[in-house]
Every structure is written in structure tokens, then in C-alpha cells.
A and B are shown apart, each in its own frame.
Chain A
Amino acid sequence: MLLKLIKNSFRNQKKSMALMIVSVAAGTAVAASLITLSLEINGKIADELRSFGANIVIEPKIEGVAYLAGQKRYLAQDDLIKTKTIFWRHNIVGITPVLETRARATVGGVSEDIDLIGTWYRRELPLPGEGKTFTAGAVTTAPWWALQGRWPERADGVVAGVSAAGRLGIRIGDRISIDGAQIEVLGTIETGGVEDQRLFMELEPLQHLKGLEGKISKVEASALTTPMDDFAYRDPRTMSKPEYEKWYCTGYVTSIAKQLEEVFPGSRAKPVWQVAETEGMVLRRLTLLIYFLCLISLLASALGVSTTMIMSMLRRREEIALMKALGADNLAVTRIFLAEGSVIGVAGGVVGYACSLGAVQYIALTVFSTGFEHRMLLLAAAVGSAVLISLLGTLFPIRRALRVKPAVILKGF
């Protein structure tokens, strides 16, 4: 009986029912889109902020007399791969070894002492214990570098910083002498920093040239981090054991730095504070902004759906009065209308969720060039809240309609 009544009600008032379903669907679509967005936004913006470059630098620890004497110390290149074995390995999104040397460059008969840097531009490293590789090198820690020409992949060749190239009159294709060895210039690089005045080589050939096999002078790492809070700023040495464990196992830039330091014996890992602190602040603020916007839009769409439901229900007071006049009690009437509201809620929720999937994927692909994860849980939440809102929207006008006398309403007042 109930089923038949509802079926008839939908069949006889197609347009009105369609309106309600569309309204619920629109509300659900906005709500589901914004919830998906707010769940994903933190990660997306964190990824985006990593384009500001390395936020941790690992250098050899050098103190006292050795420092005063200007002694050089190195880290072992072999330890580099171990950075992908630490607790926060999945947060390490970029890593670049750097060997800083000075060399005598001779170009067209003019000799000059110049900084010569050995590093990787792009290098696929095998992940320990897994069949996959990950990308390391300057593209991961300094994505703003603009390379003209090409980088000497695993081979001899020099890339000149633009200022150095201009000053020395070096052009791509020239052969220059570095410490007596003739090396071809394969490209120029614009970094927008002091590196523009330097020359670059692939790491291994430079190590060979300088007799520093397997040695690097610093490591730049780019890590996804948890924004620093008051707890994170405390000195780990003053923490109690549980506190230290909590600190160590939270992805603060300081704790990830500590873990990286443990990978390289005799090293000191420091956060690049300018990048790390600003990143945390920007991430927190942007995420908060999106949350607030979601909240407001959620409220607005929930209330918007309710008003449509109320509007549609008001019109059916006559129907309610007729039912009552024919002997239906309040409970029976309420049941019919609530069942109807549920059907509208489910239909609208499903349609709205489907629309939100499209909208959110489009937004993610347009803005971040990667898609968002589908969350089935969200479908349940979307349909559930759609039903809830349409039920609330139904209940309010029904209660009003039930209170009045059938005869009065049927008379048309």
C-alpha cells in the first residue's frame, strides 16, 4: 500500500518531484565536491609548496680546530640511498648530492679559479627492497633551474651557470680546459642565485677528476613535513622519553632532519628555516581557508535544499487534509511523506555525488594536473546526509499541516 501510494505520487507529480530531486542533487554535489576538496587539499598544496626547493640540508659536522684550519670533510655518497629507508622515507620527495670544489678553468687562453659543482640533474635510483625507482637530482630539489642545451648524464661535460658563461665568454659546444682536462660545454643553466656564477658537472666524473671518489660535500633534501607547532620547537634533548618518541614519529622538519642525520655518519642536518617555516604557515592558512569555505557552502546548500523541500510540501497541505479526511491518522500520513522524502534524498544524493565526482576530477586535473582519490565512504556520507536533509525538509511542513483541521484546509484557507 505504502509503495503504491509513493509510486503514484511520483508518477502524478513528475515535475514537482524532479524539482526536489534536482535541488537535493545540486546541494549534495556542492557538499560532496567541497568535502572531497578539503580532504585532499592539504596534500595537494603540500606537494605544490615543495616546488620552493630543498627544506633540509645535510652537511658534514666540522668543529673546533678543524674548522679554524679550513679543513674539508665529506659525506659518503653510498649513504644517499639509505635516506629511503628511514621512518619518513615516503615523505622524502627529492634528494640531491652536491660536491663543491674549486678548479682552474682555462677559456681562450685566460685562466681563472672558479667554483665547480658536481651534482645530479635527474637520476633514477632503485628503491632498496622494492622493484621501483625514484627520481633524485636537481629537478626534485631545485625545479626552477632552467637548463639550455643538455646535462651530461653519467658522462663528461660541463654546464655553465649563465653569469659564469657570460663572464668567461663560454658558449654551448665550446671545449674548455678544467684542471688541464679538455671538456665540452653541453649547456648553460639559469638558477637565479649564486650558482649562476659556477660551473657544473655530473657528480661521478667530477669525483673522478678530483680524486674524490664516493665523496659528496652536502645533500639537499626535499621532504613533506607536518607544520611546526609549539611542541616541535622544543629542544628534543629536554624532552621526556614518551615526548621524544612522539616528536621522532611526527613528520616535523626537525625530526625528519634528525633521522636523515642518523643516515649519514658525521653529519649535521639542518632545516632550511626560511622554506620550512613559511611552508608550514602557508599550508595551515590555505587549508583553513578551504575548510571555512566548505563549511559555509555546506550550510548554505543544506538550508537551500530544506527551503525547496518546504516550498514543495506546503503545496500538498490539501493532499494531507484529504488523507486525514479519508481516515488516515497522523502516523500514517507522516510515514508516507517521510518515505517519499527518503526516495528523493537517495535519488538526489546519488545523482549529486556522481556530479561531484566529475566536477572534482575536472578541478583537480585543471589546477593540480593530478586527479583526486575516489572515496566510497563519501558516497555513503553524501547519500546519508541528502536523505537526512530532505527528511528534515519534509518533516517541518508536515507537522504544520497535521496540526490544522482537514475541513479548514479543504475549504481553501
Chain B
Amino acid sequence: MNKRWFLFFLMKSLSLRKGHVVIASVCVTLAVAAASAMIAVTAGVRGKLGEELKAYGANLIVTPAGGGYLDKRLVDELRSLPDVEDASGQILGRSFFGQTAIEIIGLDRDKLRERGWRLTGLWPRGNGEALAGINLKNGLNLEIGKTLHLESSGKEEASARRPGNAYTVTGFIERGGPEDDAVVLSLPDAGELLKAEDGLSAVLVRGTPGKLDQIERAIRDREPGVSARTIRNIALPEESLLSKIQLLMALVTGVVLFAAWVSIAATMGANVFERRAEIGLMMALGATGKEVARFYRAEAALIGLGGGLAGLLLGVLSAEAITNGAFHSLVPVPLYLPLLAPAAGLVMTLSASTIPLNNALACKPALILRGE
């Protein structure tokens, strides 16, 4: 059979049996779509979930190794390290309200708007404004709008108060931790009150889960005089959750892939079964087994390729729809997927039609044509 005849037969076979080809292609498309959607979501789930887990807070803390304060520039330096998602400075210290010692937390107050801080009142807008821990509300009889006088040491005379030490309370925060007993100030305010100048007590670092050891090592190599520690109560459960979800998704993907293959195999099998008479006729007219096999493989390959491409498109669309629905953001499509999906379609259709084809070829044409 020469090439032109081969192509002619192929085209005729596809166009005369449009319905069958469409059904087989639809089956391949659906199977590949389900599989590629699963693969795309599995590949992206770690990143998406990592974003969500960010709300648990920092997973590394950098403190001065030998007491004292850290340089303010360290925050930017840490931010520029690989796998570091965010870093923010904190000043911690103690001040006095009359004779009562009160913990002071100085931090970048934009961070407060993240989850985990419950606020009654308003977010502070500038320096000179303070948020008080919810326990202080009843403890110190504070109210929103009232002025809070804080001194850096308990012994200082009332007359020695500087104007910078009076803060307007704009709201109360509740977090469920030691912050509920503290006053939250802006970084410059806290630095001034605690005489930390431009220093920081600690830098909280949010690193990509699973990369914390590398970050810790990088910090140790680059910044002498600081110590970096993993915040275990965040880092450990986070990593364990991420790897479990990833494993879950991978296993489910495996199940879906297997079922997709079975479903394609069944359809392609039915396709060849149906055409045993045709195969018998071809062989009776003098076609060799090899030629017949080539013909049907080419047909299966076309269906597999077409279905694979359509399935890729449908699969990526559904993966995006799914992640958009669940995480309100899109998932990046893995680069290998556009190659993998049509290839998988091809391999699945070809492997699925091999057994029924061999069966059909093994029969004698006369028997098949007689309908046995």
C-alpha cells in the first residue's frame, strides 16, 4: 500500500464513521482532561496552600546572638535571600504605666491587618497612636480615644515625661497570646520609648515551607552575630500538612489516571471489535497483517492525539476553575503538561488497541466474515 492510498483510506475511514470517531475522541478527551486537571492541581497545591498557611505567621526568628539589638537594614537583607517570602522587624521591651510593668511590642503595623488579630476600634494611622491588648482594657480601665502615658522606667518622675510618651489608644486587639497583655506601637515609637534607637529585637522571617534549613544556613553564613531559629510550632505542622495533602493529591491522581486508561481501553477495544468484519475483508482482499495493524494504529494515534490536545485544554481550564473556586487565584500550569497530555493520549489509545487488534488479526478472514 503506498502512502497516498494509505492516507486516502484513513481519511475515508474517519469521515465515513464520524459518529464513532467523535465518540472515541470524546472518551479520550474526557480521560485526559480529568487526568491533566488532577496533575495541574497537584503540582500547584503546595504553592497555593503555602499562601494560605502564611497566615499562621513567621516560621523563622532571627535574634541577636549575644544580646543587644539587630541592625534595621537586616530586614531588607533577609528579604533578599532566596526562598524568603517576607521578613519584618520587631522591638520588644518593657515600659511602665505608673508602677505597672507593661510589655511593649513595636512592629510594622501593616502586618496587623493580616489574619489572626481581632480588632475593636480603629487601626492606628501614624506614630503616637497605640493599640492595647484586650486584657489591658479592663486591667487599666482604658477606652478608645484615651491617652496612655508610658515611661521607659518605673522610677522616672511624672514631670520628666516627654510628649512622645503619650499615646492615643485607637483600639484593642485580641490574639489569644501574650500580645493580649501588651501595647502595640509603631516601630519608631517603640524604638524611642525603649531607647533602642534604630535597632530591632528580632526579625520574623516567613520562609517557604520545606526550605527552612537552607534559609537558616544562608543566614548563618551571611550574617555573623545573629542566631536564626525555626519556630517549630508553625514550621513542623505546616510541612507535615503540606506533604500530606500533596501525597493525597498524588494518590488520587494515580487512581484517576488508571481509571482514565481503563475507560480509553474499553472504548478503543469496542472500536476494534466492531470492525472485525472490516479487518477480515481487508485481509481477504490481500492486505497483510502488518498493513492492517498500521492502518488501525494510525487511526488510534489520530484519535489519541486529537483527544489528548482537546483534553489538555479542557483539563487546564477545569484546573483553573477549581483553584479559582477554592483559592481565589489561578494555578500555574506545569511546563511539562502540554507535552505530557497529548503523549499520554497517544500512548493510552495505542496501548489500548493493541490487544483487540492482535486478536482480530489472529483470526482467519473467512471465519470473521462468516460472522463467528
Contact = CB atoms under 8 A, between A and B. Distances in A.
Interface of A: 15-16, 19-20, 22-23, 25-27, 29-30, 33-34, 37, 45, 48-49, 51-53, 55-57, 62-64, 67-68, 70, 142-146, 190-193, 270-278, 281-282, 285-286, 288-289, 292-293, 296-297, 299-301, 303-305, 307-308, 310-312, 314-315, 359, 362-363, 366-368
A193 B262 CA distance: 52
Nearest to A315: B274
B55 A277 contact: yes
B218 interface: no
Given A26-B262, A282-B49, A308 B270 contact: yes
5 contacts: A22-B266, A144-B233, A273-B118, A281-B115, A312-B273
Interface centre among B245, B255, B318 (most CB of A within 10 A): B255
A55 B177 CA distance: 10
Interface centre among B116, B229, B263, B323 (most CB of A within 10 A): B263
Contact of B266 (A19, A51, A145): A19
Given A68-B100, A311-B20, 17 more contacts: A16-B270, A26-B258, A51-B237, A55-B176, A56-B176, A144-B236, A192-B233, A193-B233, A270-B180, A272-B175, A273-B117, A275-B56, A281-B55, A286-B245, A314-B20, A314-B274, A315-B273
B235 interface: yes
Interface stretch (B5-13, B37-45, B158-166, B193-201): B37-45
A297 to B, nearest CB: 5
Contact of A311 (B24, B260, B318): B24
B322 A292 contact: yes
Given A272-B177, A303-B26, A315-B270, A26 B263 contact: yes
Contact of A68 (B20, B139, B251, B262): B139
B185 interface: no
B19 interface: yes
Contacts of B259: 26-27, 29-30, 301, 304
Q: Is the interface of B mostly helix, strand, loop or mixed?
A: helix
Contact of B98 (A68, A297, A366): A68
Contact of B251 (A299, A315, A363): A363
Nearest to A51: B237
B245 to A, nearest CB: 7
Contacts of A16: 270, 273
A52 B117 CA distance: 17
B30 interface: yes
Contacts of A62: 135, 139
B34 A67 contact: no
A68 B98 CA distance: 9
B30 A303 contact: yes
A117 B322 CA distance: 47
A35 to B, nearest CB: 12
B122 interface: no
B52 A285 contact: yes
B326 A288 contact: yes
A37 B249 CA distance: 11
A308 B269 CA distance: 9
A274 B326 contact: no
A296 B139 contact: no
A271 B177 CA distance: 9
Interface centre among B177, B241, B259, B323 (most CB of A within 10 A): B259
B247 interface: yes
A142 B263 contact: no
Given A192-B232, A307-B24, A64 B141 contact: yes
A67 B140 contact: yes
Interface string B34-74: 10011001000100110011011100000000000000000
Interface centre among B174, B265, B326 (most CB of A within 10 A): B326
Interface string B77-120: 00000000000000000000011110000000000000111100
B248 interface: yes
B313 interface: no
Contacts of A366: 247, 251
Nearest to A30: B259
A289 B327 contact: yes
